[in-house]
Amino acid sequence: MNFDTLLLGVADGISYAGLLFLVSLGLTLIFGVLGVLNIAHGSLYALGGYVAASLTALAMRHAFDSTPWLFLALVMAAMLVGLAMGLLLDVLLLRYFQKRDPVIQLLVTFAVFVIFEDVQKLIWGTSPYAAGEIVSRLGTVELFAVTYTVYQIMVIPGIALASYLGLNFFLKKTLWGKQTVALTHHREVAMAMGVNVKKIGALVFVLGAMLGALGGALAVPVSSLTPGMGAEMIVVSFTVVATAGLGQITGALITSLMIGLARSLAVYLLPEIDVAMPYIIMLLVLLLRPNGLFTVAQSRRI
Amino acid sequence: MKLGVFSGLVVLVLLAIGMAFPWTKTMLIIGLCYGLSALGVAIPARSGQVSFGHAMFACVAAYAVAFLARAFPQMDGVVLIVLATLTGTLFATVLGSFVVRYRGIFFGMLNLAVSMVIVALLGKLYELSGGTDGIRVQRPEFWGLVTERSEFETMLLFISCCIALLAGWFYQRFTQSATGEALGGLKSNETRLEYLGISAHHILWVGYAWSGFFVSLGGAIFALAQGLVTPEMGAWTRSGELVFIMILGGSSHALGPFVGAGVFQAVKLFASAYMAGVWQMLLGFTLLAVIALAPEGIMGAWLAYRSKSVKGARP
């Protein structure tokens, strides 16, 4: 393998890691409040993608086809899906099934996931969707001898980093953010201290759902949408979250990068096991550190 | 009526249905396979650990059937099932030795990860495993009898029914054994269990091996019934279906997973006939309804109803 291939692999990896991080961030955030991995997060990713594709097509048809509008279409899609689905999941999981066994809550998210697998097929059909217009608009960039799209190497990682910084700011500097942290520490105590647990719970669900949908929306321009993409993404982002340690935001950033790079380099180096790469990493990490790479103390989860 | 006798009657009814409507035979066998595998998933679930990768044991056993049938075309069907189940169980025992160190999400995730690696390898190592197209399994003989398709299915249905009855009986015995009760104790309080001098590790390992045994059994019969094995059999969505079936039927009695499998197959059949394309949605709503209305599953709800209505009159 020569230098150019390596560079290409790294660029692929960074772009993939950006998407992976957005999805994992939403997942780990929701885990903090719910205490259960949300399988329906895969539907959010897929729905975000499909709505983004439809909105892009709509914008193009009605002459809102300048680059900022197209970009706005992607973000709007994520916001819409996140708001609608986040509230739905909040009502289902935190209102109706809150006192149930974690296993049962997990299965509720699984049920929501399978329901939305068919909803996607009913609305958007089974043929692949794509919305590559914005990628070609933004042009390419030369990295030594490799030509790469600006969208993949700058926009996706940029948004991922911005989300990371924004979320950290939110959690550490704002009142609602601090209340969120309190809620993930201990629900009852937070409630006793006057935190409006219902409001904060709904807020976190919507925020987490938006991040998952944003991952999907940003993925549409560079990959085609097919049924089953949600299932694939959710499993890989589970791996990221578990490898990093549950609720670890900075850990998720580093692990996404690690898994993203390992996977894209494996495409060139070890094509037999590229799909299995994230799981192999996770197995190795969990063998050595049973609670994930970045878990420090049990009490702090976000 | 005792549930054991009832199970026997159900099996007779299933056989009668299979005889009267030959087109239902494959479906019945596959339903029993799902039931057997879900029975396996129920064992770690008793200790509060839910695996999202257990379908891998069915997949391993199914590939064992395929490889064995390819290498030894003369091998008897029953021997195939036994050897493949042993292979799957051995794999579960080895894997269990380290997976049982983990609890909760990590237990589920590790199972998931191993199953994903297996599925990926089976899909990619084309020369060995036939890739994602899988391997065809030739119809084996049963007890030296060379049979036609229809007779073969009858035999297989009969064998599956017997195995399902035995497995259900064994599951009931197992849950009432010291190990089975300790598994329940692991769910409620692991520390207290350790204080009693019982190794939680060991208990879960034994349970894990048995659960692998049941799932493998289901997978081995499934491979023969379908005549084709694919990596799909080990996919995480398949593992999810097994958990789904277990919750649907309830794990308090061995009949539960089989009832769950029956409902699962019925919903699938109904959807494919009248609402093609939305069967997953129908399953999702069924699951939500069961979780909301009958937390202990269909079997649990029925048992609760029965003990309320015939209080004191039970044998």
Q: Using one digit for the tens of pLDDT, what is the confidence trace for A208-222?
A: 999 999 998 888 888
Using CB atoms, pick whichever of B48, B110, B281 lies closest to residue A283.
B110
Tell whether B110 lies on the interface with A, counting CB pairs under 8 A: yes
A window 17-76, beta carbon within 8 A of B: 37, 39
Residue whose C-alpha is closest to residue A75's, from A56, A57, A61: A56
Give mean pLDDT, residues B127-145.
81
Give mean pLDDT, residues B133-146.
81
Domains of chain B: total: 1
In a domain, B293, yes or no: no
Using CB atoms, pick whichever of A96, A107, A121 lies closest to residue B243.
A107
User: Are A103 and B121 a contacting pair at CB < 8 A?
Assistant: no
Burial status of residue B284 (CB atoms within 10 A of its CB: 0-12, 13-18, 19 or more):
buried
B window 79-108, beta carbon within 8 A of A: 98, 101-102, 104-106
Chain A residues near residue B295 by CB distance under 8 angstroms: 100, 104
* Contact of A77 with A55, CB cutoff 8 Å: yes
Residue B315, pLDDT score: 44
Using CB atoms, pick whichever of A106, A235, A279 lies closest to residue B50.
A106
- For residue A15, give how far its alpha carbon lies from the nearest alpha carbon of chain B (Å): 23
Tell whether B114 lies on the interface with A, counting CB pairs under 8 A: yes
Q: Is residue B165 scored above 80 in pLDDT?
A: yes
In a domain, B256, yes or no: no
Band (pLDDT 50/70/90 cuts) for residue B229 is very high
Residue whose C-alpha is closest to residue B202's, from B108, B101, B106: B101
Residue A296, pLDDT score: 66
In a domain, B276, yes or no: no
Residue B216, pLDDT score: 96
Chain B residues near residue A282 by CB distance under 8 angstroms: 109-110, 113
Pairing of strands A140-143, A146-149: antiparallel
Max mean pLDDT range (A9-18, A111-120, B217-226, B295-304): B217-226
Tell whether B237 lies on the interface with A, counting CB pairs under 8 A: yes
Model confidence pLDDT, tens digit, residues A180-236: 888 888 888 888 988 888 888 889 889 999 999 999 888 888 877 777 788 888 888
In a domain, B241, yes or no: no
Chain B residues near residue A291 by CB distance under 8 angstroms: 106
Task: Give the H or E element holding residue B136.
Answer: strand B135-136
In chain A, the domains with their CATH numbers are: 3-288 (1.10.3470)
Token reading at A72: 């706005």
Chain A residues near residue B104 by CB distance under 8 angstroms: 102
In a domain, B89, yes or no: yes
Does ipTM surpass 0.85 in this model?
Answer: no
- Under-70 pLDDT residues of chain A: 1, 64, 130, 296-302
- For residue A29, give how far its alpha carbon lies from the nearest alpha carbon of chain B (Å): 15
In a domain, B280, yes or no: no
In a domain, B210, yes or no: yes
Report H helices in B72-148. Answer: 77-99, 105-124, 126-129
Residue B1, pLDDT score: 59
Model confidence pLDDT, tens digit, residues B55-101: 999 999 999 999 999 888 888 889 999 999 999 999 999 999 989 98
User: Are B113 and A279 a contacting pair at CB < 8 A?
Assistant: yes
DSSP string for residues in A25-88: HHHHHHHHHHSS--TTHHHHHHHHHHHHHHHHHHHHHTT--SHHHHHHHHHHHHHHHHHHHHHH
Which residues partner with B145 through β-bridges?
B142
Determine which of B46-55, B65-74, B96-105, B267-276 has the lowest per-residue pLDDT on average. B267-276
Q: State the residue range of the domain holding B136.
A: 25-235
Token reading at A268: 């060139």
Tell whether B201 lies on the interface with A, counting CB pairs under 8 A: no
Give mean pLDDT, residues B308-313.
63
In a domain, B177, yes or no: yes
Using CB atoms, pick whichever of B109, B120, B236 lies closest to residue A242.
B109
Kindly report the length of chain B: 315
User: Are B284 and A272 a contacting pair at CB < 8 A?
Assistant: no
User: Are A108 and B240 a contacting pair at CB < 8 A?
Assistant: no
